[in-house]
Structure 1
Amino acid sequence: MRNLILLLFSAGIFLSTNAQESDYQLVEQTVNYYLDGGTNNDFETLKKAFHETATMKFIGKDGYKEVNALEFFSTIKPGPKQNRKTRIADINIAGNAANARLEIEYPTFTFIDFMNLLKVDGKWKVVSKIFYKRME
């Protein structure tokens, strides 16, 4: 009996770990749609990352701004690849909620993006983004 309980406990840990790894990979894939789409000026790839009602909030020249993320990025036009380096600095997951910290480095500045994601209908989607533009 004791061996059976130990086996069930071990199986539970294994399944939980695999689910977390799978969700981690899916969140990573979602934010990579955003990063790759932006780098390659490919709105179709970028929009795979966002929920249709996702918001983007930031401090602009005139203060606080809030816009629909997909409307903001819809102005992306096909063109040469962006001269930038991207990095996923951190991903945190708790159940069906996650956040990711991204760094997008251009020659003279770096965007620090904080993406909030939810697992909606089995797919991870960015529901909000805030960012900071750090001058180098």
Structure 2
Amino acid sequence: MQTPAIKVGVEDEKQLILLTLNDYLEGRPVKNMERLRAAFHPDAHIRTIMEGKLMQWTLPQYLDLVAQATLQKCQPQLLSYNWDGDTGAAQVQLTFDTFRFIDRFNLIRLEGKWQIVDKVSYREELK
């Protein structure tokens, strides 16, 4: 049986995780670089497959790519998240007019803040 104090801790943790995920979900579609940067650990890595090859970027490289991308209408969606202790995972989706990104994140909690340390992404063309 959980005590009220434990329940408050769980709810607080959920809110902290959602702050990080919302920085990504709300920052990425409008290219708000400060919110996007805030969602990631400075040493984060971003990975995807392009034309059958693994592509990898550091956070500064990824932010440069996003900054140069064409601004498009986007529907962000949180699909799932979970955590145990200081580690967690999340899956989100960014749907544009002709394609969608499905992103999977590894998260860590450092000094009371959740951050994305690893992102793997899949691009799906829409018909």
TM over 0.5: yes
Is the counterpart of residue 40 in structure 1 residue 20 in structure 2? no
Residues in 2 aligned to 1:75 and 1:134: alpha-carbon distance in whole angstroms: 19
* TM alignment of 1:1-136, pairs within 5 A: 13-61=3-51, 63-77=53-67, 82-136=72-126
Residues in 1 aligned to 2:57 and 2:80: alpha-carbon distance in whole angstroms: 24
Instruction: Quote the sequence identity (%).
Output: 25
Residues in 1 aligned to 2:69 and 2:45: alpha-carbon distance in whole angstroms: 25
Greater shift, 108-117 or 62-71, is seen at 62-71
Name stretches of at least 5 consecutive residues in structure 2 with no aligned partner. Answer: none
CA RMSD of aligned residues (A): 2.1
Greater shift, 43-52 or 70-79, is seen at 70-79
Name stretches of at least 5 consecutive residues in structure 1 with no aligned partner. Answer: 1-9
* SS, match of residue 117 in structure 2: strand
Amino acid at match of 1:107: D
What is the CA-CA distance between 1:77 and the residue it aligns to?
A: 3.8
What is the CA-CA distance between 1:82 and the residue it aligns to?
A: 3.2
What is the CA-CA distance between 1:71 and the residue it aligns to?
A: 2.3
Report which of the two structures shows the higher radius of gyration computed on alpha carbons. 1
**TM-score, normalised to structure 1's length?**
0.83
Residues in 1 aligned to 2:61 and 2:5: alpha-carbon distance in whole angstroms: 39
* SS, match of residue 103 in structure 2: strand
Amino acid at match of 1:28: L
CA shift in 2, pair 1:30/1:104, >3 Å: same
Q: Which has the higher helix share?
A: 1
Give the total of aligned pairs.
126
